[in-house]
Amino acid sequence: MAKNIASISGFPEWLPAERLVELQVLDTLRETFELHGFSSLETRAVEPVSQLLRKGETSKEIYLLSRLQDSNLDIDRQMSKGKRLGLHFDLTVPFARFVNENAGHLVFPFKRYQIQKVWRGERPQDGRFREFIQADIDVVGQGELAFHHEVELALVMGEALSKLGLPAVTIRVNNRKIVQGICEGAGIEQVEDALRCLDKLDKIGADQVREELESVGIRAEQADVLLKMAQISGSKSESIVSAVTALGYQSELLDEGLAELRAMLEEGERRAPGLLVADLKIARGLDYYTGTVYESFIEGHEDLGSICSGGRYDNLIGDGKKKYPGVGLSIGVSRVLSRIMAANLLVPSRPVPTVVYVAVNDEEHRGESNAIAAALRARGISTDVADKAAKFGKQIKAADRRGIPFVWFPGDVDEVKDIRSGEQVVADCHTWEPPQQDLKVQVLAPPLDVEG
C-alpha cells in the first residue's frame, strides 16, 4: 500500500501493481455472480440517518454529511426534521430501501449483486478500514422465499472465493432457529441478548460470555446450556443433529432449524465437499437474521476474522403491507485485499497492463511509432509509446523499469524484442500476437521457494 506523510489512516490507497490485484478480485467476483444469474445494482452513497439507524446497527459510527456553510442551527433543524444525511456503512440498509421503493419494477425472486465503497467511523486496525469496498449478493422474495436459496448463496460465494486463488476458505454455518429453539426449551426469554452474547465468543471467550449472559438475566444453568450448544461443530449432519438432540430440549422451531441445517450440510457435501461446516456458536449479532447465518474464514489466516458474513432475514424489508424476505452474504473485499497484500498471497505477472513499448527512432518519425501503437491497440494489445527518442538501450531500460515485456523497433522491417529472454524477431503490427499469457496481466499465487 502506498505510504506518504499525508496519509490518513483507514483510507487505503493501493499502488498500481496492487490495484491490478484488486481489479482482478473484483472482476472475478462480478463474473461469478453474473454466471449464477445475479444482476448488478448500485445505490447512492448517502441515506437519511434515520434510515441508517433503523435496523439494529446503532453502534456503528456513521459519517454525517454537511455543507461547510451549514451552521449548528441548520444541522439541528435537519436532525429534527429527519433530513440529516450520512454515508452508508453497509450495502444492506440501502438495498432494503431500494427494494421497498422499486418493488413494482422488480421481478421476484430478485437476485442482485452490489460492489461498492462503504464508510464506517471506527478505529482502523488490521483488515478494518474507515473506507472500504464490500461485495454483496442477495436473493429477495415477495411474501415468501424458498429455503434452497440459503444453500445457493453459500455455494455461489464459495465458488467465487475459490476462484480468487486464496488458500482454502471455509464457510461456517448455523441456523438462528436452533438457537431460538434451545432458548425456548430452556426457558430463556432474552433471546436477542443471548444471540448478541454468543456472537462474541471468539472475541472474548466463554468466561466473559457467561458473565454477559448472566448480566442480562440469564441464569447460570441456562448459560451452561447455551455454551454447551455453542461448542457443537462439524461437517457431518448426523453428528450435529445427535449432539443438539443430546442437550435434551425439543420444540417445533428447533426441529425446523435442525432440518434446514441438515439439508444445508448434505447439499454442500454433494456439491462442494469441505466448504460448509456447522458451527453453532455462529450467531451474528444483528437482530434481523431469522434463519441460516454464515461466517467465512481463510485457512491459515483465521486471525483476520470472518471475511464473508450474512444470513437469512424475513423482517428487514417491508412496506407495512408486504414483506420481502431475503438472504444475503457480504464480502469485505478491502479486508481480504489487505491480507493478500500483506502476506503476498497473490501477485500480478507484471506491474502494468502494457504489453508493448514502441520505441521512437527520432522525434520527426514519432508519427510512425504512434501508427504502430494504434494498429496494435486496435487488435486488443495494450501498447505505449516511448516518451523520448533516446538511444535504444535507454528505451529498453525504460520499458524494463515499468515491467513491460516487449519493445517494438520501427524500421524498414519492424522487429519486436522480448526483453526478458532477449529474443528479437521480425514482426508486422497487423498480425503479430504476444504469447497468450502475456496478453493480459495474470494474478496468481507466487511460486513457492524451492531450496536446491
What are the φ/ψ torsions at residue 418 (nearest 5 degrees)?
-85, 105
Q: Is residue 418 predicted with pLDDT exceeding 50?
A: yes
pLDDT of residue 286: 66
pLDDT, tens digit, 9 for 90 and up, residues 30-42: 999 999 999 999 9
List, in order, residues 6 or more apart from 11 with CB less than 8 Å away: 129, 130, 131
Q: 116-120, 276-280, 301-305: which range is least confident on average? A: 301-305
pLDDT of residue 201: 87
Other Cβ atoms closer than 10 A to 412? 4
Arithmetic mean of pLDDT, 324-344: 95
> CA 326: distance to chain centroid?
18
Q: 39-43, 200-204, 238-242: which range is least confident on average? A: 200-204
Q: What angle do CA 115, 118, 122 make, to 5 degrees?
A: 145
Q: Are strands 169-175 and 276-279 parallel, antiparallel or unpaired?
A: parallel
| Residue 9 near residue 122 (C-beta atoms within 8 A) | no
pLDDT, tens digit, 9 for 90 and up, residues 392-408: 999 999 999 999 999 99
**Ordered domains of the chain (ranges, CATH):** 16-347 (3.30.930.10), 356-444 (3.40.50.800)
pLDDT, tens digit, 9 for 90 and up, residues 94-147: 999 999 999 999 999 999 999 999 999 888 888 889 999 999 999 999 999 999
pLDDT of residue 452: 39
Q: What are the helix (H) ranges across 311-407?
A: 333-343, 366-378, 392-402
More confident residue, 450 or 101: 101
| Residue 46 near residue 9 (C-beta atoms within 8 A) | no
> CA 38: distance to chain centroid?
15
Instruction: Name the pLDDT band for 64 (thresholds 50, 70, 90).
Output: confident
pLDDT, tens digit, 9 for 90 and up, residues 177-186: 999 999 988 8
Helix, strand and coil in the chain, % to nearest 5: 40, 20, 40
Helix (H), strand (E) at residue 265: helix 252-271
* Distance, CA of 292 to CA of 83 (rounded, Å): 35
| Residue 169 near residue 296 (C-beta atoms within 8 A) | yes
Give the cell for residue 374: 494504434
| Residue 167 near residue 345 (C-beta atoms within 8 A) | yes
pLDDT of residue 13: 92
Q: Which of 95, 93, 90, 171 is nearest to 139 (CA)?
A: 95
User: Residue positions in the annotated binding site for L-histidine?
Assistant: 90-92, 120, 134, 138, 284, 288-289
More confident residue, 189 or 103: 103
**In 3-state terms, what secondary structure has residue 189?**
coil
Helices 252-271 & 237-245, crossing angle to 10 degrees? 160
Taken in order 336, 231, 284, 38, the sign of the CA dihedral is: positive
More confident residue, 370 or 448: 370
> CA 288: distance to chain centroid?
21
pLDDT, tens digit, 9 for 90 and up, residues 146-172: 999 999 999 999 999 999 989 999 999
> CA 53: distance to chain centroid?
23
The dihedral formed by the CA atoms of 238, 239, 241 and 245, expressed in degrees to the nearest 10 = 130
User: Residue positions in the annotated binding site?
Assistant: 90-92, 120, 134, 138, 284, 288-289
Q: Are strands 406-409 and 415-418 parallel, antiparallel or unpaired?
A: antiparallel
pLDDT, tens digit, 9 for 90 and up, residues 66-102: 777 776 666 666 665 567 889 999 999 999 999 999 9
Give the cell for residue 393: 538501450
State the pTM of this model: 0.89
Helices 201-215 & 220-230, crossing angle to 10 degrees? 160
